Amino acid sequence: MPECFLGLVPGWGGATLLPKIIGPENAVQVIISNALNNNTMMKSKDALSLGVVDAVYEPADFLEKSVKFAADILSGKKKIERKDFSNDSGAYEKAIATGKAAVAKKYNGAEIASPLAALELIKASQKNTVRDGFAAETKVLADLVMSDPLRASLYSFNLIQKKRKKVEGAPKPALARKITKVGVVGAGLMASQLALLMLRNLKVPVVITDLDQERVDKGIAWIKNEIQKLVDKKRLSPEAATRLLGNISGSTNQAVFANADFVIEAIFEELSLKQKLFKDLEAIVTPECILATNTSSLSVEAMSEGLKNPERVVGFHFFNPVAIMPLLEVARTTKTDDATVATAINVGKELKKTMVIVKDAPAFVVNRLLTRFMGEVTDAIDEGTPYEVADAAMTPLGFPMSSLELLGLVGPGVALHVAETLNKNLGPRYKISPTMQRFVKEGVKTFYVKGADGLNTVNPAAVSLLEKGSKASTSEQVRRRALEAIATEAKMMLDEGVIATPQEIDICMLLGSGWPMHLGGILPYLDREGISEAVCGARFHPKGVASLP
């Protein structure tokens, strides 16, 4: 049931009849948990075990057995026994508590109308007659339909579906070259993830390289272990696994890339190292081989300087974890030709990624906006805002994690590196946080650590390194400055041609940073809050986009 995922509640009796038929706990799983878990589709066997359906048949004899099932019911030969859940108050209380916990976890404590309204309808179904339950659903639906969150969710959903199919500004697909072998430079975690993704989806030989055999062996071992996990979970057959394992190899000699059609690097984020790598590779690979970089912030064009064929160099920026995050930023330099971009787009489609073509500019789209946003939060802490106040600034928006939790996921080292790159290339609005510098120097990787109970607790080592400022802000002030910074940066990116349209900024943040769907993309939210006009002098979208007219 996708309704809560889209900002609605199940109507036509969905929130009233389902709890009565399958019980409140199973109903919460179907209506709330599945919907909030990226609208997970139930498998037929799961629907049967939950009681949503009474029988499941194979396609070969589905019609015959379905007719017989109906005939047996009508004739009284077969009876379906239903349990009466109306007196099981404990089950209802447990179900509602489970549902509220799922909502709180998904939206990090923010109160989101549609799933909470669905839980109230499930709760009321214990005592409501069917007529009363239908009436309650109608009233809730009338309120939700005339709300911004529904329009915003539908905008997000439709945008995601559209951008999966069409890449704005992509060259003609006929220009794409065929890929028969892939090379991955690096055998660390990111490189190994890239190799596994390409191995599984492109179904061609993939070879990885690194500086020494120990690193190569470690990368190959990680890939093999991940394939075995897929087999153990029955997501991959042993035969398919054997075929994949036959296509993966590693070496310390880059000569193995000689007959590769697509080579991507995922080495340390140092421009001089990447420039030397590409020059070395150019002497090995064919003139038509694509040279791609997974850089998150460095200049792709600078990497191609001095090459004989700079037109085949392209940015191919994935997000971590590679297999899960759906966005892929394809960065085109002033020299990248159409055949290279078309090939990159074709590879991205085979990898099942949603792509945006971006101008080769510092940090592209997602990292540039996230770094600006995160910078305002860390700046507020450096200025003297208590960390718990600053970290709670974005809670009302329903992000899946707080700002400092996100810092732990990204890593202070990466965050500082990107901030330094942007500070150098875009100016002092990207400040270098002394707190982040201390974190990196002292090896502090997270602001929170998980306790034995699985809950986050503050890392004392991180707290001890915080800058001691004297100018404190409120959560509301921190939130406002962060959102104003994003609006300013988004306007600059559009003016600079980093990205073609506001819709593409929205898709980048929805799929690359986890911007909540119910807010309808980052720019419609800034429009609704009046921030766009206050900061930029105009809206990013016309009125009525992701909002009521």
Strand duo 182-185 + 262-265: pairing: parallel
15 lies in a domain? yes
What would the mean pLDDT of 313-342 be, rounded to a whole number? 97
pLDDT in tens, 40-77: 778 899 999 999 999 999 999 999 999 999 999 999 99
Place of tokens 């065929």: 178
Give me the CATH number covering residue 308.
Answer: 3.40.50.720
124 lies in a domain? yes
pLDDT in tens, 119-156: 999 999 999 999 999 999 999 999 999 999 999 999 99
Name every residue whose Cβ is closer than 8 Å to that of residue 90 and which is 6 or more positions away in sequence. Answer: none
What would the mean pLDDT of 416-427 be, rounded to a whole number? 95
Give me the CATH number covering residue 21.
Answer: 3.90.226.10
274 lies in a domain? yes
pLDDT in tens, 235-244: 999 999 999 9
User: What pLDDT score does 12 carry?
Assistant: 84
- Integer Cα distance of 442 and 369 in angstroms: 27
Provide, rounded to the nearest whole percent, the portion of the chain with pLDDT above 70.
100
214 lies in a domain? yes
- Integer Cα distance of 289 and 267 in angstroms: 19
Same domain? For 139 and 232 the reply is: no
Same domain? For 89 and 29 the reply is: yes
459 by DSSP, 3-state: which? coil
Cα–chain-centroid distance for residue 249? 29
Same domain? For 13 and 85 the reply is: yes
156 lies in a domain? no
Task: Give the residue from 478, 497, 516 where a domain finishes.
Answer: 497
pLDDT in tens, 78-94: 999 889 999 999 999 99
Half-sphere exposure of 235 (CA within 13 A, CB side): 7
Q: Nearest-CA neighbor of 360 among 406, 279, 295?
A: 295
Number of domains into which the chain is organized:
3
User: What pLDDT score does 41 carry?
Assistant: 78
Domain ranges, residue 432: 366-497
541 lies in a domain? no
User: What pLDDT score does 36 carry?
Assistant: 86
509 lies in a domain? no
User: What pLDDT score does 290 carry?
Assistant: 98
- Integer Cα distance of 198 and 185 in angstroms: 13
Using alpha carbons, list the distances in angstroms from residue 223 to 191, 248, 249, 279, 508.
10, 9, 10, 28, 28
The model's pTM is 0.91
What would the mean pLDDT of 244-258 be, rounded to a whole number? 98
Same domain? For 126 and 222 the reply is: no
Q: Nearest-CA neighbor of 144 among 317, 252, 7, 1?
A: 7
Name every residue whose Cβ is closer than 8 Å to that of residue 171 and which is 6 or more positions away in sequence. Answer: 338, 339, 341, 342, 345
CA angle at residue 353 from 351 to 359, to 5 degrees? 115
What's the chain's average pLDDT? 95
pLDDT in tens, 447-505: 999 888 888 899 999 999 999 999 999 999 999 999 999 999 999 999 999 999 999 99
Q: Nearest-CA neighbor of 141 among 289, 277, 10?
A: 10
User: What pLDDT score does 339 carry?
Assistant: 98
DSSP assignments along 1-17, one per residue: --TGGGT---TTTHHHH
Using alpha carbons, list the distances in angstroms from residue 395 to 79, 389, 400, 527.
50, 10, 9, 19
User: What pLDDT score does 549 carry?
Assistant: 86
User: What pLDDT score does 456 carry?
Assistant: 86
Give me the CATH number covering residue 434.
Answer: 1.10.1040.50
pLDDT band at 199 (very low <50, low <70, confident <90, very high): very high
Task: Give the residue from 314, 344, 359 where a domain finishes.
Answer: 359
Spell 456-485 as b/e; 16+ CB within 10 A means b: beebeebeebbbeeeeebebeebbbbbbbb
Q: Nearest-CA neighbor of 263 among 314, 326, 337?
A: 314
Half-sphere exposure of 119 (CA within 13 A, CB side): 24
538 lies in a domain? no
User: What pLDDT score does 400 carry?
Assistant: 84
pLDDT in tens, 1-48: 789 989 999 988 899 999 999 999 999 999 999 888 867 778 899 999
User: What pLDDT score does 61 carry?
Assistant: 93
Name every residue whose Cβ is closer than 8 Å to that of residue 48 and which is 6 or more positions away in sequence. Answer: 54, 55, 56
Sheet holding 262-265, edge to edge: 248-251, 206-209, 182-185, 262-265, 290-293, 313-317, 327-332, 354-359
pLDDT in tens, 334-374: 999 999 999 999 999 999 999 999 999 999 999 999 999 99
Same domain? For 179 and 296 the reply is: yes
User: What pLDDT score does 455 carry?
Assistant: 83
- Integer Cα distance of 17 and 215 in angstroms: 57
